[in-house]
Each structure stands twice: as structure tokens, then as C-alpha cells.
Amino acid sequence: MPAIAVLTSGGDAPGMNAAIRSVTKVAASRGVTVWGVEMGYDGLIDGKFRPLTRQNAKTASLAPVGEMEAMGSLGGTILGSSRCPRFHTREGRAEAVSKMVGYSIEGLIVIGGNGSLAGAHALAGEATVPVIGIPASIDNDIGLSREALGVDTALNTIIDACDRITDTARSHHRAFIVEVMGRHSGYLAMAAAVATAADAVLLPEQRRNRDEVVKAVTECIVQSFGRARDKNRVLIIKAEGVGIPTHELLEEVGRALPADQSIEVRGTVLGHLVRGGNPSFRDRLLAGRFGLVAVDAVLAGKTDRMVGWNLTETGEPTSDSWIRLFPIAQVLEETKALLDGSSAVTIDRVRRMEAIQGVLSL
């Protein structure tokens, strides 16, 4: 029976387990065995493989939930994930290739973010087996896929947290700065700001310096609580990557606010809370659809490609009208442009954000 392997690598994201489930079930339906690789590229180098056939998943104690079906609804990744410095070296990757050859593995599916896809690209250039990537990153910072796995769940968690914070902020007429993950990408902050009717949003893509950020936040709070608007809560969403830590921003804004108005400003850093949780409907749906196309691509011998949710005519069409295959090199190039601000997608995001700034503060 032919065999393929699947691993999860880099930052975990809700939906990774649903993608593992999809890969396993689709492969089983094609008469192919799946090896689950533990702890990302570390496990690939060290040969930490465990069978993920539906039968084994039922009997083995390896999965926390024996049933493959139930596993898909769990957050995190049952295979484990890692950052693996050895995979940056040619020797490390050669060891991984020899382990795959030893297990007669005929294809590899890598579920992960930008770094993991860069690793998959490097491996594909050196391995004889096909390598296909599935984008997973709560930051939504992977080029050519409208969304990566985990983004939808993360946004649902953020808006739930903001709703709760709004309840208490409204009761005390307070301003809250809520920080969400996103070191280089403000996508989560931007999307959440629209969905929660926040009063302002701070993104790394705006490239504002410290003083500009403090000034913008102070003005927003003063205007919102001012007589003309008389709001009972102010919600400001800040992406992690904005160049001033939230606790320092709170201090500086506290000093800059007019003393006679006794405005209270609090901060909450959502941090890793946003990474966890059971995947949403959309992440499970995407995971199922990505998994099917990824397995069929690997079995067709396609390599160095990523499956992307993309409704344009770019890339290669697949059996799924939502999903297209892109060379990973092209994905990495677009990812770089997304992060350095030169991508049309980033330019459009920032332009849209600027266009609604006036609306946000109403």
C-alpha cells in the first residue's frame, strides 16, 4: 500500500487537526496509508512517525481522542508542532529525506505558516518525493490564499472577547485598548475592528511612530467621550506589531489625557488566548477542502505547491472551484510583499482602513 506523510509545523492554528483528519480520510479512500509526523520538521528528521489510518486512529492510544472524526473538532494539533533550526540546514533536510525513504513515504503534506512553507519549498528542491503545503496561520499573512486555516476561529475569539470587554467598559465609561496577535500583519486587528465597531484600529502597516500612535489614541478617546459624541465606551484594537508595547501606550496616553476629565483607560492583551479553541465552521470546511486537494495533488506527483483559497484565475485550477494550486516560490514572494506593504492586497487593506477611520470613531 502506498504511503504519504503529514506534519504540522510552526505556530499552531485551529483547523490543523481538521486538516489532518481530512488528509487521513481522503488518503484512506484512495487506498493510501498516512504517517503522522510528530513535532513538525523535528519529527521528520528524527523519524518520529505514527500511523494515522482510520483503523489505527480508533485503536491506538496515540490520539487524545481515538476517533479520527472527533479529532477534527479539537484546537491545536494532535501531532504537535515545533520550530526546528536543523531544518534550515541542508544536512538536516537530507536526514529528513532519508527517513522518508526508509518508511517508503511517497509524498509529504506540510500544514503550517510562512516559515513552514519556506521549509517545504527547500525540501521540495532536494527531495524526490512530492511536497504540498496547506496554509495555516491565524495572522492571515500567507500570500495567495484569501484566508489561512485558523484565521476565522481567531477572529471569532477576538470578537467574543471584545463583546465581553465592551460590557464592562460601557458600565464604567472606560476606554479599552485591546491588543491582538499580529507581529507583522494587522489583518486580525483590522477585521476585528470592523466586526466590533471599534473606535479606532492600530496596524503595523500604517507605519506610524510612537508619538503618532499616542496622539491618535489620545485624540480618539477625548473626542469619543467629548460632549459632541458622548460615548459610553471606547474600544481601540491594536495589533501586536505596532511599535509601542501596550503597557507603555497605556502609560503615555494616561499622561496625555486632560487631567480634569478623569478618563480611565485600561488595556488587555489577548495573546495566545486567540490561538486556541475549537475550529469554527469555516476553518473546518476549509480544512476539509484543502485536505482533499492536497492529497490528490501529492498523489498526482505535483510538488512544491501550496493549496490556496483563491477565487481568481491565477494559479492552477483543481477539482474544487474555491481552491487553486500555486508554486510555493510564488506564495513566498507574495507573502513578502504582503508584509513589506508592496502587495496590492496590503495596499488595499490600508486604503480601506483609512477610508473607514472616520466611520470607526462615530
For residues 121, 127, 131, 135, the Cα torsion angle rounded to the nearest 10 degrees is: -30
Nine-digit cell string for 27: 488518503
- Walk across the sheet containing 49-51 and list its strands: 49-51, 33-37, 3-9, 105-112, 131-135, 305-309, 323-327, 316-317
Task: Provide φ and ψ at 120, rounded to 5°.
Answer: -65, -40
Given 5, 20, 32, 41, the residue binding ligand ADP (CB under 6 A) = 41
Identify which of 145, 155, 63 has the alpha carbon closest to the alpha carbon of residue 111.
Answer: 145
Task: Report the SS3 class of residue 9.
Answer: strand
Site membership for ligand ADP, residue 315 (CB under 6 A)? no
For ligand ADP, the closer CB: 13 or 57? 13
Cα gap 275→125, rounded to integer Å: 31
Site membership for ligand ADP, residue 341 (CB under 6 A)? no
Cβ-based neighbour number of residue 54 at 10 Å: 16
For ligand ADP, the closer CB: 114 or 361? 114
State the minimum distance, in angstroms, from the CB of residue 50 to ligand ADP. 20
Nine-digit cell string for 138: 491565524
State the minimum distance, in angstroms, from the CB of residue 177 to ligand ADP. 26
State the minimum distance, in angstroms, from the CB of residue 183 to ligand ADP. 11
For ligand ADP, the closer CB: 275 or 324? 275
Buried b (16+ CB within 10 A) or exposed e, 1-32: eebbbbbbbbbbbbbbbbbbbbbbbbbbeeeb
For ligand ADP, the closer CB: 77 or 224? 77
For ligand ADP, the closer CB: 87 or 225? 87
Site membership for ligand ADP, residue 150 (CB under 6 A)? no
State the minimum distance, in angstroms, from the CB of residue 138 to ligand ADP. 9
For ligand ADP, the closer CB: 120 or 220? 120
Active site residue 139: yes
Helix, strand, coil percentages, rounded to 5, for the chain: 50, 15, 35
State the minimum distance, in angstroms, from the CB of residue 294 to ligand ADP. 16
Beta bridge partners of 309: 323
Given 10, 72, 133, 150, the residue binding ligand ADP (CB under 6 A) = 10
Which residues 80-119 are close enough to bind ligand ADP by CB under 6 A?
A: 83-84, 87-88, 112-116, 118-119
Site membership for ligand ADP, residue 9 (CB under 6 A)? yes
Q: Determine which one of 42, 139, 152, 304 is catalytic.
A: 139
Q: Which residues bind ligand ADP (CB under 6 A)?
A: 9-11, 41, 83-84, 87-88, 112-116, 118-119, 122, 137
Residues designated as active site: 139
